[in-house]
Structure 1
Amino acid sequence: MTTTEDVLEIIKHLAAERETFTSDDIRPLLPPGVKPTSIPPAVSKARRDGIVEEVDRVKSTIPERKGSLVPVLRRGGSHLALVQTAPTTSGAPTATSGLSELADEVVDLKDYLNATGYVCGVEEIATFLLLLAGRTWVILAGPSGTGKSSLVRRITQALAAQFHDIQVKPNWVSSEDSLGYYSEVSRTFVPGVALTALLAAQDDLEALHFLRFDEMNLASPEYYLAEVLSAGESWRLNESGHAESDVIQLPPAPLGTPLPEVRIRDNVFFIGTVNVDETTRTLSPKVLDRSAVFDLHHVDLFATPSSQASIEEPAIPRLGRVRGLLTDRPRSLAALNPSDGEVETVAQLLSTLGEVGSALGGPVGYRQRDALLTMLTLGSRHGLTDVLSPDTILDIGLRSCVMPKWQGSTPSSHAALRRGLAILLEVEVPDDASIATLQSQASVSRFPRSCEKLLAMIQQFAALGYFSAW
């Protein structure tokens, strides 16, 4: 057994016994000969494997590490985490078993990506798959170099899907740049790169087609994708039983010019990658309303690919259940058919945040309600709740589909931010409550990911006088 595996066993037992713990709690339990330097890589592996989730960072209590930040960990609320930390009669943790077929495939997909050189965790994979199934657009956000573009390409390869790489240019100002234009020279309509990809998906309905708009906010998406965004608002079933959007309006051409008729088909997945810096544009509410924002801001510096990654090509796992999730894309609540309990859970949660959202420039509407309902229902229907508990799915939905529009720079908006935090913590938040106190409460709340985002915005307001979800 390697030193990392020794520490991993300690983490499993701590996760089974305690509500939360830090890496400082692991130190006294290290066996002889195992150095504390083995703790960070073991914690990283435990997080990637879904054994624990990191819910906060606090200052170390060890004198020689005074001032340094250490992670606060807790066992995930999923069945996957429960299985991995449950003791057997011999006292050792059990192997991963008793999971849904989809949960097993998510773990296999994580292992496959690791073997190809892309290291990530089961929560990241499960979240990305759920957002793809539940939303027309998924926006991958985070600093440059966090693997946003690679994630799309690697999952496309694993699913044997079609990958369309669309490089957004800063000078794109209209749909002619993405959908095409009428050429006065050839007297024909010349399809653009996005239209070409959509036509390919329309002619190949059996395959999944991933359209990645790389650096999509180098230009304003509501300009070069306005017609695509609008067409994706209305869906119907065609004579073959496939869901399709309204016809996408193409750029103008002289009367009589042959134009292709293209719709968004149910096998199309729109994914955009964004960076936020001085070279990029702010995403408009029109775009954010139709999207789920997946923030890949956590960088695991201890994560390394499998030693076999550069030696041999790993076998692609069987991903039938994953494909089943991605092809189950209900376009209405009638098609989704959520349970009464799921509707009540989502409605109650969002109704408590309605006033907060309005004060922060991101009111809660039907799109947000339907997004969370779709994610919760699909997660339950396909057994993804073995990896992401229902509360975790709601937490991800709040952070991805409700909060991205929230921003402010006034005392009243700051007060609304704190009201939102109080709602999610389910406690009163006094005006003089310290960030450290709020962080400790967030670490044991139902929605630690959303609370983390709210706390980051509160700290941003204190430092800069304004805040945003970006």
Structure 2
Amino acid sequence: MSFQTYCDLISDDQKVKAEKTLLLTYTNSKGEAFSISPESIKLFLSFLLDNYDVVHSAWDKVPTRKDYIYQYEEKSYREIYKTASDEELKIISSTGRSQTKALTKLIAKLIGFLTESTYESPEVNTFFEESRLRLALEKWTDFVGMDSSNKKNLSNLIIKEQFKSWMINKGLSERTASSYSGAGINYCDKYINKVGVNVNSFYQLNSEQVLDALKELGRVGEWLQADKSGNSMYSAACKKLAEFLTEKYSISYTSLSKPFLLLAGISGTGKTRFVREQAKTSKQFAETYCLTSVRPDWHEPSDLLGYISRLAKDGKAEYITTDVLQFIAKAWRAIADSGLTVEVQESEDLGKRLVVAGERDELDKVLPYWLCLDEMNLAPVEQYFADYLSVLETREWRWTGDSFTYSSDALLKPVTIKEVADIDKLREALGFGSADDGKYNELWELICQYGLGIPFNLLVAGTVNMDETTHGFSRKVIDRALSFDFGAFFPNDYYDFFTPTSRNKRLSYPFWSNASKADLANTFDADGAKTLAFLSAVNAVLKNTPFELAFRALNELLLAVASIQPKDDLALKAVWDDFMMCKVLPRIEGDTDKLTTSDGKALLLELNTVLANQLAPIWLASETDEANQRPDLYREKIVADDATDEEKILRIPCRAKAKLEWMSERLASATFTSFWP
């Protein structure tokens, strides 16, 4: 951690520039900039320490001085700088008398940095004390490149200050926040060797480790007694620290525009593992992940979602559930457990539906549930997945400010549930417990009356291999999915095997079903006009061909813009580029006759011309032209934890250009082409 970072974390009106320079630049209250060398400050600190009695006497004679020398007051501090009369201190003495407070702020920050102390303001503490000055000089190094031990201590200091600010923002008093972040954690640190962790401070632990350490401290009699006599201050400080760390390091997600993914690629690229790793964002991995292997003999929806059987001895109807249906029910229980409201609402356009309602902050707490259909196209998807595909298009999100409602048609319809003789048995089979438990009684009654729909937190990912043993996809399926050429989006780089340089972003469920201008307001395409013009140009080439795009395509492209929230031209065109890869190019296949436009031109060539214009400058950006390369929306660089968002961005060439070239070359050599490898 550099001195520059230390200064940046201080909220005051002074700007300091101290990155790898021979001079420190700082501003006064008027914003005027001044410079001084670190060596001059070091000489001044040495002078203060060697002549402390003289300096203290000069300060003491000023009537307006504060009670202690480390508390800033302009006239008394001007006298301190006057005592530095040696020739080599001339610059700092002169500056100190003309820009007294600005220079004192800078020096106090440097002393605080070197002594690993919390800076507040000069009026509170300038650190102009003998003990502080001595320690600062002992630790003086090239302070833009501290050694590893100091980096750890400074990292602890930064977290401590962030923890304190977080508590104040949460409504705790400044006194309580200071006590918890300071004395509270400091006292616990004295017993750190008794809790089985190899660190010297609680500030080096994560939230789970803090709570585990707190349990261990509860077995230490001396600590426990001190905590009880201090009104549980130490345990409260640890619990607050764990809460802060959970919030600080909570996983950020990239929202998808569609909750159904096709991951296509050659065998062994890690498609199934990708889905499993996405679900591992939570300790509840066993709850939020379900792997189902598709069988070649699946030919109807009952293979996926279950069916009514009358083969029991008494001939009564019994519903045979599947692991998929049970997992869907589990995702519904997660919604109910989150505190969101599940109720029935009636609207003119949708009628009566089971609806989830709540606030945005409640929605963010609901984890995504990942259903992986392994080898999805071993059976005809249009047959066994037909019911799910139809209901998928009935999802409806409605937003009013920060409040939302979500609903969908039922997969397991109420009329089917009513046919079942033993509804309690079905309830238990789906994991809703018994009526005696009472926990899910209200939710189960609503499901019985209005059916079990698609929960908003459910993501379905099908892994796909395209070979002679599998089935292809109709445009009906492709239109309802996000199709990922896995090797293009998540490439296997052999040279990254031992030391990866990038990682996949965490994906989550969409928050929209129908795009509106309000959803685009904070994007680079605030009114959607740019996106509309892009898709119109693309569709002009596809007009009167089997690949022409309909209204759904525009809605889903606008939803992609709303989900990604691009802030500049390159990011917006990255969304368009990925839309071509996920939604448009997968539709295109055939021979030369089929791949001809309505006016007799080569479709792929015409599409190439349009995209070269619409996707400039990323279309022509080379591997080395990072300035014009697009950001990768699904991966990021592996960098230091304190890196900026800009430093995390992974820049890549245009994906659609490479795929279109590959499809064109395949058409030329084999007289037939398709998107799929």
Superposition TM-score, scaled by structure 1 size? 0.60
Shift of 1:469: 1.1
**Equivalent residues of 2:514, 2:559 under 8 A apart:** no
Matched, 1:233 2:393: yes
Look up the match of 1:468: 674
How is 1:6-25 mapped onto 2 (pairs within 5 angstroms)?
none
Equivalent residue of 1:348, what SS? helix
Equivalent residue of 1:158, what SS? coil
Q: CA–CA distance in 1 between the matches of 2:397 and 2:545?
A: 37
Look up the match of 2:470: 280
Post-superposition CA distance 1:196-252 (Å, at most 9, x none):
111111111133211111111111122111111111111346999441211125699
Equivalent residue of 2:463, what SS? strand
Look up the match of 1:211: 371
Equivalent residue of 1:389, what SS? helix
Look up the match of 2:276: 153
Q: CA–CA distance in 1 between the matches of 2:492 and 2:307?
A: 41
Post-superposition CA distance 1:406-429 (Å, at most 9, x none):
1121246150111000111129xx
More divergent stretch after superposition (444-453 vs 213-222): 444-453
**Equivalent residues of 1:216, 1:274 under 8 A apart:** yes
Look up the match of 1:406: 588
Letter in 1 for 2:495: F
Look up the match of 1:248: 411
Q: CA–CA distance in 2 between the matches of 1:254 and 1:158?
A: 34
Look up the match of 2:657: 451
Equivalent residue of 1:372, what SS? helix
Matched, 1:143 2:266: yes
Post-superposition CA distance 1:382-435 (Å, at most 9, x none):
x7x79x8221121111111121111121246150111000111129xxxxxxxx
Q: CA–CA distance in 2 between the matches of 1:350 and 1:152?
A: 30
Q: 2:323 aligns with which of 193, 198, 204?
A: 193
Structure 2: which 5+ residue stretches go unaligned?
A: 1-143, 145-251, 336-365, 427-447, 597-601, 631-652
Q: CA–CA distance in 1 between the matches of 2:671 and 2:656?
A: 21
Q: CA–CA distance in 1 between the matches of 2:672 and 2:371?
A: 34
Identity of counterpart residues, as a percentage? 26
Matched, 1:133 2:133: no
Q: CA–CA distance in 1 between the matches of 2:417 and 2:277?
A: 42
Q: CA–CA distance in 2 between the matches of 1:238 and 1:374?
A: 14
Matched, 1:374 2:529: no
Look up the match of 1:396: 578
Shift of 1:267: 0.7
How is 1:52-201 mapped onto 2 (pairs within 5 angstroms)?
130=254, 133-160=256-283, 162-186=288-312, 187-201=317-331
Q: CA–CA distance in 1 between the matches of 2:661 and 2:398?
A: 46
Structure 1 pair 129–224 and aligned structure 2 pair: CA distance change class (3 A): farther
Post-superposition CA distance 1:328-370 (Å, at most 9, x none):
5111224962246451111111111113334553221222212
Shift of 1:181: 1.6
Q: CA–CA distance in 2 between the matches of 1:238 and 1:417?
A: 39
Q: CA–CA distance in 1 between the matches of 2:594 and 2:277?
A: 44
Coordinate RMSD, CA, aligned: 3.6
**Equivalent residues of 2:458, 2:509 under 8 A apart:** no
Look up the match of 1:221: 381
Look up the match of 1:352: 537
Q: CA–CA distance in 2 between the matches of 1:183 and 1:335?
A: 48
Q: CA–CA distance in 2 between the matches of 1:175 and 1:412?
A: 32
Letter in 1 for 2:493: D
Post-superposition CA distance 1:272-303 (Å, at most 9, x none):
11000001000111110011111122431222
Look up the match of 1:301: 494
Q: With CA pairs under 8 Å and 6+ residues apart, which has the higher RCO, 1 or 2?
A: 1
**Equivalent residues of 1:342, 1:377 under 8 A apart:** no
Structure 1 pair 449–237 and aligned structure 2 pair: CA distance change class (3 A): closer
**Equivalent residues of 1:360, 1:408 under 8 A apart:** no
Q: CA–CA distance in 1 between the matches of 2:613 and 2:258?
A: 28
Shift of 1:304: 1.2
Shift of 1:169: 0.6
Equivalent residue of 2:573, what SS? helix
Structure 1 pair 467–358 and aligned structure 2 pair: CA distance change class (3 A): farther
Structure 1 pair 270–289 and aligned structure 2 pair: CA distance change class (3 A): same
Q: CA–CA distance in 2 between the matches of 1:253 and 1:420?
A: 48
Letter in 2 for 1:452: A
Equivalent residue of 1:269, what SS? strand
**Equivalent residues of 2:261, 2:461 under 8 A apart:** yes
Q: CA–CA distance in 1 between the matches of 2:299 and 2:271?
A: 24
Q: CA–CA distance in 2 between the matches of 1:137 and 1:407?
A: 22
Letter in 2 for 1:397: F
Equivalent residue of 1:413, what SS? coil
Q: CA–CA distance in 2 between the matches of 1:211 and 1:196?
A: 11
How many correspondences in the alignment?
316
**Equivalent residues of 1:133, 1:328 under 8 A apart:** yes
Look up the match of 1:424: 611
Q: CA–CA distance in 1 between the matches of 2:622 and 2:589?
A: 20
